[in-house]
């Protein structure tokens, strides 16, 4: 897993030239993307807004209902890196026909909110 993270970070290093970067996501994000970026880019400020077990579209457990969502919107970082959705599969894999369009709607809504204040990378 650590090797995968390093590859992802190298891709981000080639595209992000901001001084302030927020990371939004589930436990994968919470576990340390911002720490790895901070080590690689000491002149940048990174913020981790990862929430373990969070989803995009699962009612009470969706990202829009978290304190972290409100915090990332208030912070207004230059870039917001989004890694959400892996936990949704666990909840909805048997209901894809019904859930798929709802999930897309919720994900797009989140992206629009983040785009109000920063450039978004998925």
Which tokens sit at 29?
């994000």
Distance CA 34, CA 98 (A): 35
The residue range of the domain holding 87 is 21-121
Give the residue, 119 or 100, on which the prediction is more confident.
119
pLDDT at 2 over 70: no
pLDDT, one tens digit per residue, over 9-45 is 655 665 556 678 899 999 888 887 767 777 777 778 8
- Look at residue 59 and tell me if it is in a domain: yes
In the chain, the number of structural domains is 1
Report if residue 14 sits inside a domain: no
Confirm whether 30 is domain-assigned: yes
On whether the CB atoms of residues 121 and 79 are closer than 8 A, the answer is yes
Whether residue 3 is predicted with pLDDT greater than 60 in this model: the reply is: no
Higher pLDDT, 59 or 82: 82
Does residue 1 belong to any structural domain of this protein? no
Q: Is 24 helix (H, G, I), strand (E, B) or coil?
A: strand
């Amino acid at each position: 897993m650590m090797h995968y993270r390093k590859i992802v970070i190298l891709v981000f290093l080639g595209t992000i030239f901001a001084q302030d970067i927020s990371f939004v996501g589930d436990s994968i994000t919470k576990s340390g993307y911002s720490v790895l970026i901070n080590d690689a880019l000491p002149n940048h400020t990174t913020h981790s807004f990862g929430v373990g077990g969070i989803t995009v579209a699962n009612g009470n457990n969706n990202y829009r209902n978290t304190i972290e969502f409100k915090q990332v919107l208030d912070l207004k970082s230059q870039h917001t890196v989004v890694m959400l959705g892996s936990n949704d599969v666990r909840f909805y894999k048997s209901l894809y026909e019904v859930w798929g369009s709802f999930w897309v709607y919720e994900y797009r809504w989140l992206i629009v909110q983040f785009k109000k204040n920063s450039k978004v990378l998925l």
